[in-house]
Structure 1
Amino acid sequence: MRLSYLGIFHTVIGVVAIIAAFVSLIKNAKIDLGKLAGKIYFYCTLVASLTALGLSSIKGVNPGHILALFIVVLISAAYFLYWKKPGNNRPRFVENFFLSFSFFLSLIPTVNETFTRVPVGHPLANGPKDPLIAKTLLLLLLLFVVGSILQFRKQRKINRSPDFS
């Protein structure tokens, strides 16, 4: 199946967002909107989610569109918390969770589309219900849960530090 120009643009922007998220998570243990990688993640995810609304193999609204809109809500709320509630405080827990959750949700269609298209001619999976996709998403869910717990613990430590007062 060939990609449209919108599909190619969406894919490139989405890959940039995923790379930026990984860079931010590795460097900062969170997607930090105050750093370049976090800003790139935010803007590229916003564009990728909005362009996803124009992509569909079936007519009408589908679960992918709902997922894209939900991701926009999550990153927008995180952005609001970052700019309106500065500092290391309770809103950071929610901001961190929203950004990490948006990243996890972004990986769901990414895994599905990648595994059902690559390598060209002999894809790794036959469709969304393929066991390889399910196992990969389960692994990503476990990583998300563990990562969220670690982020929560790190943020709690930051909030309790004397420098925060």
Structure 2
Amino acid sequence: MFGLTTLGTLHTAISLVALWAGYQSLLQRGAIDPRQRLGQVYLWSTVLTCLTGFGIFQRGGFNEAHMLGVLTLLVVGLALLPLRARAWPYAQTVLWTLTLFFHMVPGLTETFMRVPLGAPLFAGPDDPKLKASVGVVFLVFAVVMAAQVLRMRRRQRATPLGAAALRP
């Protein structure tokens, strides 16, 4: 189906679970919180997406998509650190949302290099239309991340204890 290997199909299915959990979490809670059920689903499906992606070599050897998987795992690991810095809850929220953006890059690339069948939207990973699309998606995510930080700051100011409001 769509030129995917068995591993590619499994990888795609897991990544769709991650996308669903990430967007559900954003819609319901305003952030991805790995302490919550949807956040746990997002965390583990993201890790599995990265790990299964390392076995896919449709375009030769280790490439940019594999590097994005490494970067995603590094950002996930960083976001899980229990640091006590005052700004850390803000950074964690932004890092989790950034990982969701990372999912979108290969998602857009791989999907629209195959769809619609027979006349895909993008000719390849270097297609200028793809790069522009990724840029637009990044801008949307940048706005979402800024809104998350502003929301957290408003909640912190409105809560007498302050720190309790920093939870996403």
* Identity, % of aligned positions: 29
**What TM-score comes out, normalization by structure 2 length?**
0.86
Does residue 162 (structure 1) correspond to residue 160 (structure 2)? The answer is: yes
Aligned residues: 160
Question: How far apart in 2 are the matches of 1:91 and 1:159?
Answer: 14
Question: How far apart in 1 are the matches of 2:88 and 2:126?
Answer: 37
Question: How far apart in 2 are the matches of 1:59 and 1:141?
Answer: 27
Question: How far apart in 2 are the matches of 1:12 and 1:76?
Answer: 23
Identify which range, 133-142 or 19-28, moves more after superposition: 133-142
Who is 1:110 aligned against? Answer: 107
Who is 1:71 aligned against? Answer: 72
| Structure showing greater relative contact order (alpha-carbon pairs closer than 8 Å, 6 or more residues apart) | 2
Question: How far apart in 2 are the matches of 1:110 and 1:58?
Answer: 16
Identify which range, 105-114 or 128-137, moves more after superposition: 128-137
Deviations 1:61-103 (A, max 9, x none): 211111101101111221233xx65xxx532111111111111
Question: How far apart in 2 are the matches of 1:142 and 1:40?
Answer: 26
Question: How far apart in 2 are the matches of 1:11 and 1:95?
Answer: 26
Higher helix share: 1
Does residue 31 (structure 1) correspond to residue 32 (structure 2)? The answer is: yes
**What TM-score comes out, normalization by structure 1 length?**
0.88
Question: How far apart in 2 are the matches of 1:23 and 1:60?
Answer: 34
Q: CA deviation at 1:155?
A: 1.6
Q: CA deviation at 1:55?
A: 0.7
